[in-house]
Chains A and B, each alone.
Chain A
Amino acid sequence: MKESIAAFAATFVFLGVSFSSSQNTDPAPAKSGKNAASVYAELAKAPEKARAKRNPFEGNPDAVAAGRNLFEHHCAECHGAGAEGGKKGPNLRAPEVQEAPPGAIFWILTNGVVRRGMPVWSKLPEPQRWQVVAYLKSLGVSASSAPPSQLEPPQPTVSPSHRASPLH
């Protein structure tokens, strides 16, 4: 009985600490402009060697489809189903991301932005991270985040059967 009480007490301590930490230590939601800007700024910190890397799946429609599955499972929770930003993660269809070299996006995926709440994703094997990059790049700049001069009609970069589209 004594052990059970101790276990329940520990559970309450655990829950209390966890929830307070999730609300206090997670910095301002990334959807806020300031925080999103600081997350985008991380892209510029990618070393030149990383930025120069080419996506081995560039133009591969299967990779875009696979990347979309991976994005839904691992990224959509924070960045939104259509990658246009969520409660925790910034808009990935913003010009800052879409115009970044694929290698820089891959570098961010690999290293995370740990102090800003983005975890390290190197647990996804390297080809899967490139598949996610291929999917993100296929989305293009969203109308809501692009200056008028950058708005373009959708680019059919993949075959019609695999064309990437916002998920919802």
Chain B
Amino acid sequence: MPLFSRLGLFILLPLFSLSVCFPSPARAQESPYFVAYDHYLEEPGNLEIEYFSTVGTQRGGNNFHAFWAEFEYGATAWWTTEVYLDGQTTFSDSTVFTGFRWENRVRPLKREHFINPILYFEYENKSGADKILKEVEGHDVESDFLVPNAVARKEHVHEIELKLILSSTFKGWNFTENTIAAKNLSNNPWEFGYALGASHPLALQASANRCTLCRQNFVAGVEMYGGLGDRYTFGLRNTSHYLAPALAWNLPSGWTLRLSPGFGLNDNSHRLLIRWGVSREISGFGEMVGRLFRGRR
């Protein structure tokens, strides 16, 4: 079971049992990004359940499969909150749970503008064995992942991460730029990173017929992301960078599939990161749970 490790299945199976049980899926119009964020938040009251995998090559060590589950909830039209659970399998080593994250995205402006800012706050409680590469910051390099799981998991990382997301939509194109600042709370300097993304649906008009394979259901894009050093050594020196084409397929049934091969751009980067993900949006989730607590009226 090299790719679907036991822990991956442990997360994946309950996730989809849960999502299949909910009768009211919403059709998502999701972007293909894995790392970059655009300015679109979850619809209020909806829960999106997502599972993502990253299979990475490792020079001088064992390849790995990192995976994470996301529970993304639209608290209001201007605030989305999200919990992640992360794990990884390093081949010929072991499978470990690597921590959790709590992320919040807030839209400060009421209306749509040419550039739309989103403020992002995240708290991470993870171990040193974390390999999901959800963002690259500071001097993160490939050789950091050579440490065996048994040793790496003993390191506990409490980190806050701030992002300024600037995103624009023009003639069907989305362009987004994320600036990242992360602070390990154990007295490490601020670290910086970036993520850029551009995407476009394969068709702008919707078809009059319901269809699964229509071009409008596919969104293609590309992401570029990497580290920018830290407070004392800001810049590109000893940092890693990736370029990743990406594709999202929004199915009428409410499921979204994503695929993205990422390529390392310098010697500090993993040569190849294959990412894929599957997600499903459940509409009216907040209301359903609210009813459970309030009782029927």
What's the A-B contact tally at a CB cutoff of 8 Å? 148
Least Cβ distance of A20 to chain B in Å? 9
When the two chains form their complex, are residues B208 and A66 in contact, meaning their CB atoms are under 8 A apart? yes
With A26-B44, A77-B284 as known contacts, state yes or no: A127 contacts B99, CB within 8 Å: no
CA distance A110 to B102 in the complex (A): 29
Least Cβ distance of A109 to chain B in Å? 10
When the two chains form their complex, are residues B286 and A13 in contact, meaning their CB atoms are under 8 A apart? no
Partner of A114, one of B77, B98, B210: B77
When the two chains form their complex, are residues B290 and A22 in contact, meaning their CB atoms are under 8 A apart? yes
A residues in contact with B284, CB < 8 Å = 77
Within 8 A of A (CB), among B19-76: 24, 26-27, 29, 31, 38-41, 43-45, 71, 73-76
Which residue of chain B has the shortest Cβ distance to A27 in the bound complex?
A: B76
A residues in contact with B296, CB < 8 Å = none
When the two chains form their complex, are residues B112 and A110 in contact, meaning their CB atoms are under 8 A apart? yes
We find that the number of chain A residues with CB closer than 8 angstroms to chain B is 50
A residues in contact with B169, CB < 8 Å = 122-123
Partner of A122, one of B97, B112, B286: B112
Least Cβ distance of A13 to chain B in Å? 7
Cβ of B125 under 8 Å from chain A: yes
When the two chains form their complex, are residues A18 and B75 in contact, meaning their CB atoms are under 8 A apart? yes
Within 8 A of B (CB), among A80-119: 87-88, 110-119
CA distance A118 to B31 in the complex (A): 20
When the two chains form their complex, are residues A14 and B204 in contact, meaning their CB atoms are under 8 A apart? no
Partner of A119, one of B41, B71, B283: B41
A residues in contact with B171, CB < 8 Å = 126
B residues in contact with A22, CB < 8 Å = 44-45, 73, 75-76, 286-287, 290
Cβ of B207 under 8 Å from chain A: yes
Within 8 A of A (CB), among B263-297: 283-284, 286-287, 289-290, 293
When the two chains form their complex, are residues A3 and B127 in contact, meaning their CB atoms are under 8 A apart? yes
Interface centre among B26, B44, B71 (most CB of A within 10 A): B44
Partner of B100, one of A10, A87, A123: A10
B residues in contact with A26, CB < 8 Å = 44-45, 76
B residues in contact with A70, CB < 8 Å = 206
When the two chains form their complex, are residues B206 and A66 in contact, meaning their CB atoms are under 8 A apart? yes
Cβ of B205 under 8 Å from chain A: yes
B residues in contact with A118, CB < 8 Å = 77
B residues in contact with A7, CB < 8 Å = 85, 97, 99-100
When the two chains form their complex, are residues B79 and A19 in contact, meaning their CB atoms are under 8 A apart? no
Partner of B77, one of A119, A127, A162: A119
**9 further A-B pairs in the complex, CB-CB below 8 A; given A11-B85, A87-B287:** A14-B71, A21-B76, A22-B75, A88-B44, A110-B112, A115-B78, A123-B29, A128-B204, A128-B206
B interface with A by C-beta (< 8 Å): 24, 26-27, 29, 31, 38-41, 43-45, 71, 73-79, 81-83, 85, 97-100, 102, 107, 110-112, 125, 127, 169, 171-172, 174, 201, 204-210, 216, 252, 283-284, 286-287, 289-290, 293
Ordered by A's residue number, 13 sampled pairs between the chains whose C-beta atoms are within 8 Å are A3-B99, A4-B97, A10-B100, A14-B81, A22-B286, A62-B208, A77-B24, A111-B111, A114-B111, A119-B40, A123-B38, A125-B204, A126-B204
A interface with B by C-beta (< 8 Å): 3-4, 6-7, 10-11, 13-15, 17-19, 21-23, 25-26, 61-63, 65-67, 69-70, 73-74, 77, 87-88, 110-120, 122-128, 131, 162
